[in-house]
């Protein structure tokens, strides 16, 4: 697992801290170690020394000007309790492997350049007490409001302009929000499909009704001679009327043309 410094000077200046944070395994440190170790967790900085070091497992790489993607291998440290990668320049997605950190109590990824949606698997972190992804470029819906994530306020997600749903005031169903634009587009397509389905049903029912009426009229004319005579009488009358109407119209047009 490696981390990439963004600038040579900045990377060298903070190299000792990076190496210390990468190589530290507080469980394996000799209990007689008396030098205090400052560690930032749950938005506070604590000093661990002596026997207390054996009860704390964590990674603090905050404020190191690190860039690139967050190594997904961090998710393999199932016993880790604290991960602080804040105030760096990490890009890309939040690794889904973070859902394997079953013992984690504090996860701080704030002040980076992370993007994409938040992994839905994060709701499996039942031991999480402190959580912050503020000041990134994350988008989409915040994790489901489970009993664990319901304890985190909007400050944990602030300054992610494309994030939506509680505890943020922005709804994912607001017009123009990136997370709702695609569903809206799909809904429009579905409405168009429904419209075409309705029109096809209309035409089918129309022609079926027309055919039924036509067959009913023909059947009545074939069976009932009186109706048949009456039908042909009116048909002949209509033809004669139409003929004299057309002839009279042409006659009048001829007179007016002179």
98's enclosing H/E stretch is: none
Query: In the chain, helix, strand, coil percent, each to 5?
Result: 45, 15, 35
Query: Are 28 and 53 within 8 A, CB to CB?
Result: no
Instruction: Tell me the HSE value of 82 on the side-chain side, using a 13 A CA sphere.
Output: 22
Residue 20 has pLDDT above 60, yes or no: no
Comparison of pLDDT for 138 and 198, the residue scoring more: 138
pLDDT recorded at residue 34: 52
For the ranges 34-43, 201-210, 214-223, the lowest mean pLDDT is seen at 34-43
Worst-scoring range by mean pLDDT, 16-20, 26-30, 81-85, 92-96? 16-20
pLDDT at 91 > cutoff 80: yes
What is the rounded distance in angstroms from the CA atom of residue 69 to the CA atom of residue 3? 8
Residue 244 has pLDDT above 70, yes or no: yes
pLDDT score recorded for residue 202 = 78
Mean pLDDT of the chain: 76
Compute the half-sphere exposure of residue 44: CA atoms within 13 Å on the CB side of its CA.
Answer: 6
| 132 token code pair | 């912050």
pLDDT tens figures, 49-77: 666 666 678 888 988 989 999 999 998 98
pTM for this structure? 0.55
Q: Could you tell me the two tokens for 181?
A: 């634009």
Bridge partners for 163 per DSSP: 140
Tell me if residue 168 falls in helix, strand or coil. Answer: coil
Q: Is the pLDDT of residue 18 over 70?
A: no
Distance (Å) of CA 160 to CA 5, 99, 128, 178: 24, 21, 21, 12
Q: Quick: pLDDT tens for 107-157.
A: 999 999 999 999 988 988 888 899 999 999 999 999 888 878 888 998 999
Per the model's pLDDT, the better-predicted residue between 41 and 63 turns out to be 63
pLDDT of residue 13: 35
> Do 221 and 228 contact (CB within 8 A), yes or no?
yes
CA distance 129 to 181: 33
3-class secondary structure, 73: helix
Please report how many Cα atoms fall inside a 13 Å half-sphere around the Cα of residue 9, on the Cβ side: 0
Can you give the pLDDT at residue 11?
A: 40
Task: Say how far apart CA 52 and CA 129 lie, in whole Å.
Answer: 20
- Greater model confidence, 16 or 246: 246
pLDDT at residue 205, rounded to an integer: 85
Q: Which residue has the tokens 């992804």?
A: 133
């Amino acid at each position: 697992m490696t981390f990439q410094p963004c600038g040579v000077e900045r990377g060298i200046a903070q190299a000792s801290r990076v190496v210390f944070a990468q190589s530290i395994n507080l469980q394996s440190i000799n209990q007689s170690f008396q030098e205090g170790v400052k560690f930032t967790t749950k938005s506070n900085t604590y000093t661990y020394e002596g026997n207390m070091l054996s009860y704390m497992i964590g990674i603090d790489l905050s404020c190191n000007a690190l860039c690139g993607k967050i190594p997904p291998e961090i998710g393999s440290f199932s016993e880790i309790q604290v991960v602080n990668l804040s105030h760096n320049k990490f890009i890309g997605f939040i690794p889904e492997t973070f859902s394997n950190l079953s013992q984690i109590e504090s996860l701080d990824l704030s002040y980076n350049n992370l993007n994409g949606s938040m992994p839905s698997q994060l709701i499996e972190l039942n031991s999480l007490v402190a959580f912050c992804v503020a000041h990134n470029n994350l988008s989409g819906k915040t994790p489901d409001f489970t009993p664990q994530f319901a304890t985190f306020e909007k400050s944990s997600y602030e300054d992610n302009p494309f994030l939506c749903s509680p505890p943020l005031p922005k709804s994912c169903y607001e017009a123009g929000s990136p997370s709702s634009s695609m569903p809206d587009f799909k809904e429009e397509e579905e409405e168009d499909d429904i419209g075409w389905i309705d029109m096809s049903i209309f035409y089918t029912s129309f022609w079926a009704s027309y055919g039924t009426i036509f067959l009913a009229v023909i059947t009545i004319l074939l069976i009932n001679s009186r109706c048949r005579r009456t039908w042909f009488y009116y048909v002949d009358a209509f033809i004669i009327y139409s003929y004299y109407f057309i002839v009279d119209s042409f006659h009048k047009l001829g007179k007016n043309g002179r």
